[in-house]
Amino acid sequence: MDTEVQAAVGQRAGTEPPCADGAHIQRHDGYVYAAVCDGAGHAPDTVAYANLAPAVITHTSAVVGGLAAMITAGQMAHAYDTPPHVSAVTARMAPDGRTWLYWIGDCRAYGWDGQRLAQHTTDQTLGEFLRLNGGVPEDIARRHDNWFRLGLWQATSATVMEGAIPAETGLVLLTTDGIHDQIPHGEMERLATEHEGDPQALADALTAAAPEDDGGYRDDATVIVLRRHTPKENRP
């Protein structure tokens, strides 16, 4: 049977306007290119750049690849007097469900295989660095999770991370930290189970599920859902 890629975007602004998350989806030659960006803070330049960069990434990726797209979008940050700090993740999903990933910062990609939701990216934060290399207690590492080590303005072939998700997975989520830091992993997995056949319903459910933190602050929350879809055969 023929296959196609379904795609959906969900976004909910946080308690501090304007929204400093951005997202874009581009289709080309049967492939779907998706990108999510998350700006640190809500300064006008940060908001403008975080909303502009995803479309630059998807369009460039469709022509010259994801790594070049991330570097190109990163260079655009230097058009501002002070380059805004933005995290980004981009995915290219083929009609058969194979997915290629590129990311920098702490935006994430997850894959759902029908039973388990797995994280396929590693945050580029000081907290994660300490977990992997520092041998420090978890409570100390957690306190440093909001210390970014890299942002899109620093994108190079050495700093942009790359990965892939196999075709068997079939469902991919791209998220900002307003999603994955606020929703417990088990709840994200439950929502993926409940809505795996409807990408837009899943995107809306994830953004709606992100609560306020203990101080009453709610971060901007953005997710893109990509799903390999096999239409039913037309029968006479």
For 8-12, 74-78, 140-144, 175-179, which range has the lowest pLDDT when averaged over its residues? 140-144
What is the rounded distance in angstroms from the CA atom of residue 184 to the CA atom of residue 92? 26
Burial zone of 139 (CB within 10 Å; 0-12 exposed, 13-18 middle, 19+ buried) = exposed
Contact 175, 165 (CB under 8 A): no
In a domain, 85, yes or no: yes
Q: What percent of the chain has pLDDT over 90?
A: 75
In a domain, 157, yes or no: yes
- Between these two residues, 170 and 100, which has the higher pLDDT value? 100
β-pair partners for 226? 7, 172
Helix (H, G, I), strand (E, B) or coil at 218: coil
Strands (E) across the chain are located at 4-12, 21-28, 31-39, 86-93, 99-104, 108-112, 117-119, 161-165, 171-175, 221-229
> What is the predicted pLDDT for the residue at 235?
40
> What is the predicted pLDDT for the residue at 213?
77
Contact 152, 104 (CB under 8 A): yes
Number of domains in the chain: 1
List Cα–Cα distances, 132 to 42, 102, 120, 150, 164, in angstroms: 30, 20, 16, 16, 21
Structural domain harbouring 210: 4-124+152-227
CATH of the domain at 93: 3.60.40.10
pLDDT in tens, 3-52: 689 999 999 999 989 999 999 999 999 999 999 999 999 999 999 999 99
In a domain, 109, yes or no: yes
Residue 25 token pair: 């989806």
In a domain, 47, yes or no: yes
What is the rounded distance in angstroms from the CA atom of residue 191 to the CA atom of residue 182? 14
> What is the predicted pLDDT for the residue at 236?
41
pLDDT in tens, 192-231: 999 999 999 999 999 999 888 777 788 899 999 999 987 6
In a domain, 110, yes or no: yes
Question: Does 1 score more than 50 pLDDT?
Answer: no
In a domain, 114, yes or no: yes
What is the rounded distance in angstroms from the CA atom of residue 152 to the CA atom of residue 71? 8
In a domain, 130, yes or no: no
Give me the mean pLDDT over the 176-191 stretch.
95
> What is the predicted pLDDT for the residue at 142?
67
Output the average pLDDT for the chain. 90
For the entire predicted model, the pTM comes to 0.91
Give me the mean pLDDT over the 100-106 stretch.
95
Helix (H, G, I), strand (E, B) or coil at 31: strand
In a domain, 140, yes or no: no
Give me the mean pLDDT over the 125-134 stretch.
63
- Return the closest-CA partner of residue 172 out of 84, 74, 63, 91: 91
> What is the predicted pLDDT for the residue at 190?
97
